[in-house]
Amino acid sequence: SQQGEEDPQALSIQEGENATMNCSYKTSINNLQWYRQNSGRGLVHLILIRSNEREKHSGRLRVTLDTSKKSSSLLITASRAADTASYFCATAHSGAGSYQLTFGKGTKLSVIP
Amino acid sequence: NAGVTQTPKFRVLKTGQSMTLLCAQDMNHEYMYWYRQDPGMGLRLIHYSVGEGTTAKGEVPDGYNVSRLKKQNFLLGLESAAPSQTSVYFCASSYPRPGTTVTDTQYFGPGTRLTVL
């Protein structure tokens, strides 16, 4: 069963606005990752945050992790039409199952020029 | 570097036919994975491998078999295709975080779109 659940399922914003997507998970994790998928393409890794980290930045991306609430958020600042894609969170666990990532169902982001 | 490649890109099968999907990676990654993606379902893990000659079942392994005879290749087989196996299949590879078994970043292939009639 899916571990991560993204919220919202779909998001539509104007170019230049910020986009925030949330991910909740159920069991303790070793790391949490965010991926982007353009229509009809493979997934591309965006950012990885480890369980002992609280915030991470990469260009226009900002990821936070709250292990007490079992949740993460992805913020894309100053969005562009090229950011239109589906965004997935994925969790990796310690111990049994550590080899695997468990993906959520994704947030579909539309950025309107 | 080509990264992760998948062949074929598209395939149409009739119910009961068999086929093999090939995944190749040139990053010397230990771990390799096969996922399927269906509308509204995200990615679900079919099988994975943590090294040459080893394979393990994921979340949805029924109807599929895999082999990893060479470190760079991971094959996914459908022995008797069913319409429920119509999906987009993605291969991925990764390395573990040093000193652990935990997967780090996964690198994905472009996908294979399979239709079973």
> What's the distance, CA A51 to chain centroid?
15
pLDDT tens for chain B, 117 residues: list them.
Answer: 789 999 999 999 999 999 999 999 999 999 999 999 998 778 999 999 999 999 999 999 999 999 999 999 999 999 999 999 999 999 999 998 888 888 899 999 999 999 999
String of b and e for B55-85 (b: at least 16 CB within 10 Å)? beebebbeebebebeebebbbbebeebeeeb
All structural domains of chain B, each given as residue ranges with its CATH number in brackets, are 4-109 (2.60.40.10)
Residue with tokens 């975080």, as numbered in its chain: B97
For chain A, what is the domain count? 1
Whether A89 shows a pLDDT value over 50: the answer reads yes
Q: Do B103 and A43 touch (CB under 8 A)?
A: no
Higher pLDDT, A98 or A50: A50
* B37 close to B8: Cβ distance less than 8 angstroms: no
pLDDT grade, residue A3 (50/70/90)?
Answer: low
> CATH no. for residue A11?
2.60.40.10
At CA B41, angle to CA B40 and CA B47, rounded to 5?
Answer: 155
Q: Which residue has the higher pLDDT, B15 or A93?
A: B15
Structure tokens at B88: 């987009």
Per-residue pLDDT at B97:
84
Mean of per-residue pLDDT scores for chain A: 93
pLDDT for the residue A99? 86
Interface residue B101 vs chain A (CB under 8 A): yes
Quote the domain boundaries for residue A68.
5-112
Question: Quick one: pLDDT at residue A1?
Answer: 45
Q: Is the pLDDT of residue A2 over 70?
A: no
Q: Cβ A106–B110 below 8 Å, yes or no?
A: no
Q: What is the pLDDT of residues A18-34, one digit of tens each?
A: 999 999 999 889 999 99
**Chain A hits for B110, Cβ within 8 Å:** 41-42
Under 8 Å CB pairs connecting chains A and B tally to 70
Average pLDDT in the A107-112 region? 96
- Report which of B109, B104, B98, B91 is spatially closest to residue A91, judged by C-alpha positions: B104
- Using an 8 Å Cβ cutoff, are B25 and B42 in contact? no
Element spanning A66, H or E = strand A61-66
Facing B103 at nearest CB: one of A42, A43, A98: A98
- Tens of pLDDT along A60-80? 999 999 999 999 999 999 999
